[in-house]
């Protein structure tokens, strides 16, 4: 199947700093990618839809200034957690729809803010 | 937006028994319903899916049923094995791109 790669897989940062997470579709083009957040033992919560060449669409309750999304090419979307705080610690996963219309997920990024 | 509910949240079965997980959705526009299996710390993996023009789909020990009128769909795993132990998520999608996930079911298969 199609491959979506996410980097880094694990990051620890200090409170107040910003962290960038990359999501790449390796063997297909994705005009749209999606970012999810997952708390321990909980479900995936859709945060935003990343649109290539235009602004991201955020789900209700998700701060767009806090979670900056950039989708500059057909194979790359980035999520930047700005001014991170301990409550932002979570597992972040991206996905893209590849052929044949299946959602493929990145391997996830475990963010710990200390 | 879409609201997907999933039950039960935890499920323990004896090896060889069947497991059933149920989901309901709210948006009648949803037409694609995948099921994902997620092992701890790993990405979700698609195990089976069903589209709204079909009422049932089976793949070896796994089957999914869909009732569009009642807006619910279910995952059935027969002859469960210890390696089936994982968290299972249902999802609903109106367009095959955005997916709204259920709250997950932690399945434990007891040897």
pLDDT in tens, A9-22: 999 999 999 999 99
pLDDT averaged over chain B? 93
pLDDT tens profile B40-85: 878 889 999 999 888 999 999 999 999 999 999 999 999 999 999 9
- Under DSSP, is residue B22 helix (H, G, I), strand (E, B) or coil? strand
Question: What per-residue string of b and e applies to A22-45 under the rule 16 or more CB within 10 Å gives b?
Answer: bbbbeebebebbbbbbbeeeebbb
Greater model confidence, A22 or B98: A22
pLDDT averaged over chain A? 91
User: What are the two backbone dihedrals, phi and then psi, of residue A86, each rounded to the nearest 5 degrees?
Assistant: -55, -35
> How are beta strands B10-14 and B62-67 bridged, if at all?
unpaired
* Cross-chain Cβ contact B99/A110 below 8 Å: no
Query: Which residue numbers of B have CB closer than 8 Å to A's CBs?
Result: 1, 6, 32, 34, 41-46, 49, 87, 89, 91, 93, 96-104, 106
pLDDT bucket at A69, cuts 50 / 70 / 90: very high
What does the DSSP 8-state code read for residue B55?
S
Q: Which residue of A has its CA nearest to B47?
A: A102
- Cα–Cα distance measured from residue B106 to residue B111, given in angstroms and rounded to the nearest whole number: 16
- Cα–Cα distance measured from residue A75 to residue B74, given in angstroms and rounded to the nearest whole number: 34
pLDDT bucket at B33, cuts 50 / 70 / 90: very high
- Residue A100: what pLDDT? 65
* Cross-chain Cβ contact A46/B99 below 8 Å: yes
- Residue B73: what pLDDT? 97
Taking 70 as the threshold, does the pLDDT of residue A78 lie above it? Answer: yes
CA A102 to chain centre: 18
pLDDT bucket at A64, cuts 50 / 70 / 90: very high
- Residue A99: what pLDDT? 65
Lowest mean pLDDT among A98-102, B14-18, B91-95, B104-108: A98-102
Q: Report chain B residues whose CB lies below 8 A from the CB of A40.
A: none
- Residue B12: what pLDDT? 97
Taking 90 as the threshold, does the pLDDT of residue B35 lie above it? Answer: yes
């Amino acid at each position: 199947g199609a491959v979506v790669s996410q980097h880094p897989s694990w990051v620890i940062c200090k409170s107040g700093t910003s962290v960038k997470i990359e999501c790449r579709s390796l063997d297909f083009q994705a005009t749209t990618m999606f970012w999810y957040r997952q708390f321990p033992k909980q479900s995936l919560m859709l945060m935003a839809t990343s649109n290539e060449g235009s602004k991201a669409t955020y789900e209700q309750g998700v701060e767009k200034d806090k979670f900056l999304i950039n989708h500059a090419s057909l194979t790359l979307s980035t999520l930047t957690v700005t001014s991170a705080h301990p409550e932002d610690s979570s597992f972040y996963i991206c996905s893209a729809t590849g052929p044949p219309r299946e959602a493929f997920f990145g391997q996830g990024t475990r963010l710990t803010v200390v | 937006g879409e609201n997907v509910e999933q039950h039960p949240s935890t499920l323990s079965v004896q090896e060889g028994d069947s497991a059933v997980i149920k989901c309901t959705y709210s948006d009648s526009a949803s037409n694609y319903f995948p099921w994902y299996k997620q092992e701890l710390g790993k990405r979700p993996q698609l195990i089976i899916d069903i589209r709204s023009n079909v009422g049932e789909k089976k793949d070896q020990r796994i089957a999914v049923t869909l009732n569009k009128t009642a807006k619910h769909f279910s995952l059935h795993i027969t002859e469960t094995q210890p390696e089936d132990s994982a968290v299972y998520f249902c999802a609903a999608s109106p367009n095959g791109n955005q997916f709204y996930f259920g709250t997950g079911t932690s399945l434990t298969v007891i040897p």
